[in-house]
Each structure stands twice: as structure tokens, then as C-alpha cells.
Amino acid sequence: MTTIHLRLTRCFLDSLMEITGLYHWTKRNQIPPITNPLLLQTATELAEKTRTGQLKCETLVRVFIDRINVVNPLVNAVVANCFNDAIKEAREYDRRIEMALNDPLIEDDVLKLPLLGVPITIKECITVKGMPNTAGLYSRKDFRAPEDAQVVKNVRKAGAIVLGVTNVPEFLLWWDTNNHVYGRARNPYDLSRITGGSSGGEAAIQAAAGTVIGVGSDIGGSLRIPPFFCGTFGHKPSSHMTNTKGNFPSCGHESREKLLVNGPLCRYATDLKPLFKVIISDDEKALAQLDLDRPVDLKKSRFYFLYEDGDPFKTAVSYDVRETLQRARNFLEKDCGFVCIDALIPLMKYNFAIFLTTLGDCDAPLLCEEILERHGKLNAWPELIKGLFGLSKFRKITCMNVILENAFYSPELRQKLWYRKIIDKGKQLREQLDSLLDDGSILIMPCLPEHAPKHSGTFLRVINCGYTAVFNVLEMPVTQISMGIGQRSQMPVGFQIIAKRLNDRYTLAVAELLAKKFGGWQPPCDIRIS
């Protein structure tokens, strides 16, 4: 097909999705107002207050519990809580803090904990002892995790207090958070729109001021798409830098391990680096390689801007996204004096194909087996038909994924010349970007072409996820930032900041710089503090 035919086809498919979305009436301005100033402070500020005795941990935990109880019935983000345990933990921290402050001779390092008393939520697919760990599968609805994942142990050791676990798509398979165990998560800015996935519950509860920090995972955009849709911040670390033990489902094959990472989700950019350091605190090698506290001199960096990936079959980049990129460029170029350059990356248009072929280029167990935890194979066609009548325990989109994998992933297919050519394009793209982003340079580009779609409006837009998924293949660090509310959409907008592998500190530094200038997260509700 020619470029014009592809663009016309894309416009037609997007129109179908818009028509489907009409079923969901717009619901803006539904989130109750923020009435407590503690809900508006960064995790770093809150930890400093508990550390110095200005704020009781129990008081802080109860403030966020009250907020979750108010907003969660609307956004359906926190799917299981451990509030009673959190209050007990907070009281114990208060006891230790009081003793440490009143008697310097007491040997207790509690005052050194970087997240002391800060409430945190965890993506449900990451095990938290005693909490459900279903990944949205109905067959696991009664399962409770026997122990914390390593990343949860790390945040607890740093003083954070876990409040609960947050909603995910079924088997983490989609970029819309919905499943038959917990139901659908909703975007705080418009309840008729999606939160993104698969860390959709995390981003939604943060945007609604129910938590300030959280931990999620990313295999194709899950630490970036939800923050983009919900106006918060996320960081996908360089590959192999985080411990994913305790994540369900697993990668399925060692060749896919580079695609999956755990990472921080935060309402404020300044909390990304402190939380990220905690997440990797068990790995001395990762801490040494990333050297996050090493000073960053952005004046030596070049900033490459890519306004679209060049694929005519993807949704056209919206006015709000382009305008946001241009605002950032004007600031970096004119106010900061940095060198900004238009990026030319022709291979980027193959990003979705590169992701799919790389994901399938191994002898991993089939999806139909993994969904049943390798106790048989899911017969997707009957389940899909049952799903049309609301009789299946699997979502229709899950069944479609199984059907598509059965049709397109096979050892024979992987040997086809066109398949190998796409794999080669991925290798070439990695080489080009490594060269382009050498010496601390930065690539800035859309996370997705447009703001959050309506519920049920994602199926024919999945190719747009190539914007994020390709960087899991390339193993590069990516920070997703919020640039406030779009002028036309009146929904959150932002973009991705990309650097060479192990240069995470550069993307985090740029995120902090831009957030300081443009404000970042904007509340989806009124602020009424007396």
C-alpha cells in the first residue's frame, strides 16, 4: 500500500475507535477536591518531615488512606489494601523516631532511611506478602503472595510503608487496565478514558493524589504510557539493572529478560531518582554502573527532537503533543542555551515490527500455555465466542492475543527472510542510536501520538505502542515526563526522554529540569485547603 493509502486506512480505523468510544460518556471533574496540604508534597519532603519529627508517620499514612478511600471508588486503582498493617508499621516508626531524636546514643539508623514513613503502592503483578498477585487472571483470584518481591523488600528497607496493590490488565497483555478480577481502572481526568497499562492503577491513584510514589514494571511501555495518560512521571531503567524476581508473569525465556524491568512511578520528577536508587539498592553492580549521584552537565549534551516516527499506519501525532515538544525545545534552546537538533531516524518507523519480532524470536512457552500457568493450553476461539456473551473468564483481547500468536509465531516463521530483515533493522537502529546519543546526548520524542483514548477504544490503535516498546528491545533508559494539560484535549500530555544505555542519570536530570520549568503534574480536581 502507498503512504496515502496507509494514512487513509489509519484515519478510518481511528474513526471506528472514536465511534466505539461514544458509548462511554465523558466524565470530567469527578474527583473530590484535595483538602490536606500533605497530599501535595513530594516524597522527599514528606520523609524529611518524619525524619525531623515535624510529622508523625501515622498521621501521614492516615491522610493517604483517607484520600484513597475517597477517590478509589471512582478510579478503581487500588485493588487490595493492607491499611491496618500500614498503620501498625507507622506507629512503630514513630516510636523509633522519637527514641532516636531524644537519645542520640541509641543505635538505630531509622533517621537515615530515605523514604521514612512515606506511603507507597505496588503494581499488583509484583508480589507483596499477604496481598493478591493475580496479574488480572480470574484463575488466581484467591492466590495470596507468600513473600515480598525483592523490590518490595528494598522499598520497605528504605522506610516506605506499603498501603496496597494496584490494578493491571489481564496477564499484563494490554495497554488498557481492565480484567475480570477487579474490573476497569479509570482516568482521574476523565473517567470515560483509560489509564493506560499495564501499570495503569499505579498512575491513576497517583494522579488522583492517593499516593505520591509507587513501583511498576515495563516490558513494552508500562512505566511510560500510564504516566503519559495520567499526567505523572515514570522511568524505564536501562535493561538488566533491576531485580524482577517476584514478578508474575515471568518473561518466559531468558532472551526476553532484557525487555522486562521494574521501575519508579512518581507524581513529582524529583522523587524519581531517590526511589530508583532504592529499587536497585540490593544490587551493588547496578548502583556502580549507573552512578546516579554523579553530576550531569547537560551543556555538553545535544538534544535531538523527533516529532513523529514516520510510520503512516500509526495515528498522526496530535497538536497537543507537538506543541508540548516545541515548548520544551524552545526552553532548552533559548532559555538554557542547549543545542537542539531535528532527528532523522528512518528506521524508527519499524519500531512496532521490531518489538514484535524480537519478542517472538525465541522458543518461549506459548501464550496459550502461560495464561494457564503451563497446566494445559487455552482454547482461545471458544473462549472468544463465550466472551461475546459475557460467559468467559478471559477478556476478549486476551483471546485475540492468543489467536494472533498461534497464527504468526512459529519456528518456521522466524526463519523467513522478511522476519530476519526486521530483526536486522532492530540491530541497525540500536547502532544508530548508540552513535547518535554518545557522550550524554538526549533524544526527545512522543510517548504516544495522542492523549488517552476512551474505554474500548484501544484495539485498532495498538500499533501506536511501537513508540514505547522499541526501547525495551534497545535496552535504553527512558523517562516519561508530564508537561501539564493539553490546550485542545484538556487531558495530560508529555513525552519520552531517551539516552544511551546506562545513562539513566541524564534522562532523570532532564526530567527534573523540565518539571521545574513547566510544573509537571496538574491536579484533576480542585484544591481546597483552609
For residue 315, pLDDT beyond 80: yes
**21 marked as binding residue:** no
- Spell out a b/e string for 45-56, using b for 16 or more CB atoms within 10 Å of the CB, else e: bbbebbbeeebb
**19 marked as binding residue:** no
Higher-confidence position of 395 and 366: 395
**191 marked as binding residue:** no
For residue 87, pLDDT beyond 90: yes
CATH number of the domain where residue 241 is located: 3.90.1300.10
**pLDDT (0 to 100) of residue 169:** 98
For residue 89, pLDDT beyond 90: yes
**Is 8 a domain residue?**
no
Q: Which of 166-180, 351-365, 401-415 has maximum average pLDDT?
A: 166-180
**pLDDT (0 to 100) of residue 491:** 98
Count the Cβ atoms, other than its own, within 10 Å of residue 366: 16
**pLDDT (0 to 100) of residue 249:** 95
For residue 260, pLDDT beyond 80: yes
Residue type, 63: V
**Cβ(457)–Cβ(17) under 8 Å?**
yes
What is the band of 358 on the pLDDT scale with cuts at 50, 70, 90?
very high
**234 marked as binding residue:** no
Indicate the length of the chain as a whole number.
530
**Is 210 a domain residue?**
yes
**pLDDT (0 to 100) of residue 425:** 98
For residue 530, pLDDT beyond 90: no
Peptide bond into 281 cis (omega under 30): no
Q: Are strands 213-218 and 161-166 parallel, antiparallel or unpaired?
A: unpaired
For the segment 152-156, the average pLDDT, to the nearest whole number, is 98
DSSP track, 182-245: T----BTTBTTB---SSSHHHHHHHHTTS-SEEEEEESSSTTTHHHHHHT-EEEEPPTT-S--T
**pLDDT (0 to 100) of residue 62:** 98
**Is 9 a domain residue?**
no
**pLDDT (0 to 100) of residue 61:** 98
**pLDDT (0 to 100) of residue 410:** 84
For the segment 448-459, the average pLDDT, to the nearest whole number, is 96
**pLDDT (0 to 100) of residue 295:** 95
Domain containing residue 74: 34-366+409-518
**pLDDT (0 to 100) of residue 2:** 86
Domains of the chain: total = 1
For the segment 133-162, the average pLDDT, to the nearest whole number, is 98
For the annotated catalytic residues, the residue numbers are 123, 198, 222
385-421 pLDDT tens trace: 999 999 999 999 999 999 988 877 888 899 999 999 9
**Is 131 a domain residue?**
yes
**pLDDT (0 to 100) of residue 461:** 96
Name, in order, each residue with C-beta under 8 angstroms of 177's C-beta and a sequence gap of 6 or more: 167, 168, 169, 184, 185, 194, 195, 196, 197, 198, 200, 201, 204, 226
**221 marked as binding residue:** yes
194-228 pLDDT tens trace: 999 999 999 999 999 999 999 999 999 999 999 99
**164 marked as binding residue:** no
What is the band of 5 on the pLDDT scale with cuts at 50, 70, 90?
very high
For the segment 128-150, the average pLDDT, to the nearest whole number, is 98
**Is 403 a domain residue?**
no
Lowest mean pLDDT among 56-70, 245-259, 334-348: 245-259
179-189 pLDDT tens trace: 999 999 999 99
For residue 1, pLDDT beyond 80: no
For residue 444, pLDDT beyond 90: yes
**pLDDT (0 to 100) of residue 256:** 87
For residue 317, pLDDT beyond 80: yes
For residue 252, pLDDT beyond 80: no
Considering the chain, what is the average pLDDT of its residues?
96
**Is 466 a domain residue?**
yes
**Is 400 a domain residue?**
no
**Is 29 a domain residue?**
no
Alpha helices in 317-379 (DSSP H): 319-330, 351-360, 367-370
